[in-house]
Every structure is written in structure tokens, then in C-alpha cells.
Amino acid sequence: MSAAVQSIIELGSDGMVIDVECHITNGLPNMIIVGSSNKATIDAKERIRSGFSSAKLDLPRKRITLNLSPADVPKVGTG
């Protein structure tokens, strides 16, 4: 299963549209964020888990890969 949405990141005083793609497959339950992310975006895994819990939704017990593209643009912050 795959899905994609667009988001905006800050680049100085400007913004840039990025694509956030999610792919869920069978395998060991895990969440991976790729695409030149930093510590704040890696911590997003816990915010995603708590958001699912607060909404009383079950997080799929599958392998979840989140791709932030374009990969050559550094992603910083929680946006």
C-alpha cells in the first residue's frame, strides 16, 4: 500500500513544497524515515505513534517507510 501527500518546509525566509510518500509492506514492524532527515524528523516517529494512540487508531504492525523528497534538500524541524 502506498500513499503520497505534499507538505512545506522552511528554507530561510522561503518555503519549499516537498512530497511525503508512505509505503507499507509486510515484514518486521518498523518505521523508517528516509530523504535527508535530521534528528527532529527522526523523532517524528514517536509523534506519529502518539497521534495514532490519541485518535484511538491502531498503527499497522507492518514495515512503514516514509520518504521525504527531494532527497537533496535538508529537512529540519518538525514541519
- Quote the pTM value: 0.74
Q: How many Å apart are CA 21 and CA 62, to the nearest integer?
A: 16
pLDDT tens digits, residue range 6-16? 988 887 788 88
Number of H helices, E strands in the chain: 2, 4
pLDDT tens digits, residue range 28-72? 999 888 876 677 777 888 888 899 999 999 989 999 998 888 877
Q: Spell out the residues 6+ positions from residue 39 whose beta carbon is closer than 8 angstroms to its own.
A: none
Q: Are 66 and 3 in contact, with CB atoms under 8 Å apart?
A: no
5 pLDDT above the threshold of 80: yes
Rounded to 5°, angle at Cα 56 from 46 and 45? 15
